[in-house]
Amino acid sequence: MYKVFVNDKPLFLTNKVEKETNFRIYLLETVNIRKVISELFLNKIDSALLYHPDEKLILKTLKSKMPVAKAGGGLVYNKKGEVLFIFRNGKWDLPKGGIEKNEEIEDTAIREVEEETGVKGLKIIDKLQKTYHIFKRNGRYKLKITYWFKMQTNFTGPTCPQEKEGISKAVWLKPSEIEAALGNSYENIKLLFESEKVV
C-alpha cells in the first residue's frame, strides 16, 4: 500500500479492501483522480482509498495525471542519538529539498540537509521509505516524491537555519522531545518515525 498525502489527508493506493472501512473507496478504472484530490484538498472528504489489483499501476496512473517533483531529505542522527529537526512555517519538519539537474538523489539529500541546517560531515547509513505528497502550485496539482535517507554525523558546531527558505530553527532534539515535535509536524514525517521506532 502507498500513502499519498493531500494537505495531510491520506489517499491510500491499495490492492486490498477491508470489509469494514470508513474510507471512501474508488476504483482506478472509473475514478476521476483529480476530483478526489480536489475534494481532499478542500477538506470535503477526510480520506480516500484508491483500489486496483496492481498497486504499482495505481501509482503509475497517479504520476501520469500531474507533474512529479523529486526531493531528497535526511533523518539525521548525531553521536548523542539526537535527531536534527527544522522549524519552517510554524511546523517541525526534517531537512529536504528538490533534486537538481544531473544530481544523484543521495547527493540531493546531503546537499539539502547542509544548506538548510549548516550541519556538515553527513554520512548516509540507510535508505528509508519514500513519501508521497500532493500540493498545489500556481493553480496546478503536483506530486512530490521524497527519497529519505538515514544519516549520521559527528558535527558539533552551531546550526545555521536557512532563513530564505522560511526556516527559523535547526535544532537537535533528544529522543524524549521528538513526540512533542511530531504533534506539530506533517503526516509524512510521522510515517518515517513510525518505521524507525525512534519515538
Q: For the chain, what is the radius of gyration of the CA atoms?
A: 18
The tens digit of pLDDT for each residue in 22-42 reads 778 899 999 999 999 999 999
- Extents of the domains making up the chain: 2-65, 68-196
The tens digit of pLDDT for each residue in 85-128 reads 999 999 999 999 999 999 999 999 999 999 999 999 999 999 99
Question: Contact 161/118 with Cβ under 8 angstroms?
Answer: yes
Q: What are phi and psi of 51, to 5 degrees?
A: -110, 140
Measuring CA to CA, which residue among 67, 45, 62, 59 is closest to residue 14? 59
Helix (H, G, I), strand (E, B) or coil at 98: strand
Measure the CA–CA gap between 28 and 96, rounded to whole angstroms.
31
The answer on pLDDT for 20 being more than 70 is no
- Average per-residue pLDDT in the chain? 93
pLDDT band at 199 (very low <50, low <70, confident <90, very high): very low
Helix (H, G, I), strand (E, B) or coil at 157: coil
Name the CATH architecture for the domain at 68-196.
Answer: Alpha-Beta Complex (3.90)
Determine the pLDDT at residue 21.
66
Whether pTM exceeds 0.95? no
Locate 165 and state its grid cell.
527558505
Determine the pLDDT at residue 194.
86
